[in-house]
Amino acid sequence: MATPQNTSPLYNTIAVIGLGLIGSSVIRASQSNGLAGRIVAFDNNETVRATARKIGLGDEVVETAEDAVRDADLVILAIPVGAMASAVAGFAPALKSGAVVTDTGSTKASVVKDVSPSIPSGVHFLPSHPIAGTEYSGPEAGFATLFKDRYWIILPQGVDAEIVANFTQFLLGMGALVEDMTVEYHDRVLAITSHLPHLIAYTIVGTAFDFEQQVQNDVMKYSASGFRDFTRIAASDPVMWRDIFINNSDAVLEMLGRFNEDLSYLQRAIRWKEAEKLEDLFSRTRDIRSKIKDIGQLD
Amino acid sequence: MATPQNTSPLYNTIAVIGLGLIGSSVIRASQSNGLAGRIVAFDNNETVRATARKIGLGDEVVETAEDAVRDADLVILAIPVGAMASAVAGFAPALKSGAVVTDTGSTKASVVKDVSPSIPSGVHFLPSHPIAGTEYSGPEAGFATLFKDRYWIILPQGVDAEIVANFTQFLLGMGALVEDMTVEYHDRVLAITSHLPHLIAYTIVGTAFDFEQQVQNDVMKYSASGFRDFTRIAASDPVMWRDIFINNSDAVLEMLGRFNEDLSYLQRAIRWKEAEKLEDLFSRTRDIRSKIKDIGQLD
């Protein structure tokens, strides 16, 4: 067991709603860094709850979201963004005064719109988004270091500075790098860094599926030549991603429009064998990877 | 030094033309597996030749391609596909009778068309293509195990069975998995597994470059959310890839047409918030990664 880095927990009781990759990782990271006095866990899927109990996630896995949040000082929503509205509406009456509610959703305008109306007065809603993940899902996929050296974006929107500062300490305690930004800017940046790449990867892997069986087999055999990198992304959780595209459709469609223009430009250069145009673009995209390495975001 | 796995070399003299990632890896793999009596190396770039000498690539680094191939039983071309025609036309008169010439190009119809007319009678041209690589280039990027457990496609096209068998032993000796196919089929399969993914990755990384500086910085910061996987591919050698797209334009444009149709379908589903269509596609792309793992092509 890792040694707690804090002498006293930042929150007496934390409720984690949703026990997939993110929720289970939050629990493990909180526990191994001694960030919570007690962690109560809930998932609306009975099988997931059973697995969570079996592997000992949190101090208790309860049967309802209301029971999970009742004593919580911090409530963390780790569920698909399309499920936020009804989840919060359901458990909101059970929230105690002074509680902080955060989410981990990949779209922020939709979550703010869906969740804010249900937040009782005296409860603080502080949206956030960890930029971390793997292609695996479920309570057994989580691990304590998922957020280490990864950015966790917070969107304070007028929440009291003291509450923001305490939550920031919690995130830092899990090893995350914390940045704040506005909801609109978040949704635009994530559309290009995350949502568009996922859409493209899902598309190209889907395109490969429509070939005859022989080609499909050979696509897998020769996947090391580039295709393989797309399959990791295209193995991400389908429901989570369905919800992301539906809930950040404006920004995704804007980025897709830009991408399509650029792709058409290259397509035309290939058709007309305009070698220089191709080489120019391929040269300027080259050094971005070393820059990403420089800022510590390559594994 | 690794112990040679063969008691006698398969070729007395091997010439490697082009000392980038592939050429230098072929030399290292041949040496460490004892597959050649002697290896003569050449690159048309003087700086590359100097580096190759400094790091001791092959038994000798010579000043001309003619000198490299003069005594060679096997000539391996590891240069961009757009450079094949003039390279072979240049050294062909120096080839000895009975020599085998192979290439390592990523497009095969163009190489066959460009190289075949220059091959003297009595010399055997056996095109091939290793499905292996990294995003690094140059003579110092190569390593002896690059081809281990990776496919190396050969395209025999009527070359004598004995010559094919000997070359296959050479490839197996480097640890490669060997498959044969036709030129047309190769170019179509590689267009979807490799050329289209590279085009898409170059495009999306390029799209991110056209944003204002703040967004560009944030794209790098939050690249772990998907974008990062594309930057690895988009860091590949620009000249090599320029040549590939120019020389396999028909197959690439066909695959791009299919991809664009599929992307438009998803774009429309996002605009109209057709959640089921998105979830259906995202679900069926999920298991392809485990299949790739099953056939041993995940690192």
pLDDT in tens, A99-136: 999 999 999 999 999 999 999 999 999 999 999 988 88
Residues of A within 8 A of B147 (CB-CB) are none
Query: What architecture does CATH give domain A11-181?
Result: 3-Layer(aba) Sandwich (3.40)
Tell which residue, B239, B208, B202, has the closest CA to residue B225.
B208
Residues of B within 8 A of A260 (CB-CB) are 263
pLDDT, mean over chain B: 94
Q: What pLDDT, on the 0 to 100 scale, is given for residue B37?
A: 96
Residues B215, A283: C-beta atoms closer than 8 Å: no
B42 to chain A, closest Cα gap in Å: 24
Amino acid found at A76: I
Residues above pLDDT 70, as percent of chain B:
97
Domain with CATH 1.10.3660.10 in chain B: 185-294
- Residue A239 pLDDT more than 90? yes
Is the pTM of the predicted complex or chain greater than 0.80?
yes
- Residue A77 pLDDT more than 70? yes
- Residue A3 pLDDT more than 70? no
Q: How far apart are CA A41 and CA A53, in angstroms?
A: 9
Residues of B within 8 A of A283 (CB-CB) are 238
pLDDT band at A2 (very low <50, low <70, confident <90, very high): very low
Tell whether B211 is within 8 A of chain A (Cβ). Answer: yes
Tokens representing A282 are: 């391929």
Q: What pLDDT, on the 0 to 100 scale, is given for residue A14?
A: 98
Amino acid found at B163: I
**pLDDT tens column, B65-78:** 999 999 999 999 99
Q: What pLDDT, on the 0 to 100 scale, is given for residue A4?
A: 39
More confident residue, B209 or B181: B181
- Residue B299 pLDDT more than 80? no
* CA B40 centroid distance within chain: 21
More confident residue, A204 or A5: A204
Q: What pLDDT, on the 0 to 100 scale, is given for residue B295?
A: 86
Q: How many CB pairs under 8 A join A and B?
A: 290
- Residue B2 pLDDT more than 60? no
Tell whether B204 is within 8 A of chain A (Cβ). Answer: yes
As a whole number, mean pLDDT of residues A153-181 equals: 97
Residues of B within 8 A of A272 (CB-CB) are none
Q: What pLDDT, on the 0 to 100 scale, is given for residue B292?
A: 87
More confident residue, B93 or B214: B93
Tell whether A235 is within 8 A of chain B (Cβ). Answer: yes
- Residue B5 pLDDT more than 50? no
Q: What pLDDT, on the 0 to 100 scale, is given for residue A16?
A: 98
Tell which residue, A137, A121, A172, has the closest CA to residue A151.
A172
CB contacts under 8 A, B 14-73 vs A, are none
Of B189, B259, B284, the CB nearest to A215: B189
As a whole number, mean pLDDT of residues B200-214 equals: 92
Q: What pLDDT, on the 0 to 100 scale, is given for residue B135?
A: 83
Tell whether A135 is within 8 A of chain B (Cβ). Answer: yes
pLDDT band at A5 (very low <50, low <70, confident <90, very high): very low
Q: What pLDDT, on the 0 to 100 scale, is given for residue A276?
A: 96
Of all residues in chain B, the one with the smallest CA distance to A255 is: B207
As a whole number, mean pLDDT of residues B99-125 equals: 97
Q: What pLDDT, on the 0 to 100 scale, is given for residue A260?
A: 97
Q: Using H for helix, E for strand and C for coil, what is the string for chain A?
A: CCCCCCCCCCEEEEEEECCCHHHHHHHHHHHHCCCEEEEEEECCCHHHHHHHHHCCCCCEECCCHHHHHCCCCEEEECCCHHHHHHHHHHHHHHCCCCCEEEECCCCCHHHHHHHHHHCCCCCEECCEEECCCCCCCCCCCCCCCCCCCCEEEECCCCCCHHHHHHHHHHHHHCCCEEEECCHHHHHHHHHHHHHHHHHHHHHHHHHHHCCCHHHHHHHHHCHHHCHHHHHHHCCCCHHHHHHHHHHCHHHHHHHHHHHHHHHHHHHHHHHCCCHHHHHHHHHHCCCHHHHHHHCCCCC
**pLDDT tens column, B140-175:** 999 999 999 999 999 999 999 999 999 999 999 999
- Residue B52 pLDDT more than 70? yes
Domain with CATH 3.40.50.720 in chain A: 11-181
CB contacts under 8 A, B 238-297 vs A, are 238-239, 241-243, 245-246, 249, 252-253, 255-256, 258-260, 262-263, 266-267, 270-271, 273, 275, 278-279, 281-292, 295, 297
**pLDDT tens column, B235-278:** 999 999 999 999 999 999 999 999 999 999 999 999 999 999 99
Provide ipTM, 2 decimals: 0.89
CATH of domain A185-294: 1.10.3660.10
Residues A278, B242: C-beta atoms closer than 8 Å: yes
pLDDT band at A172 (very low <50, low <70, confident <90, very high): very high
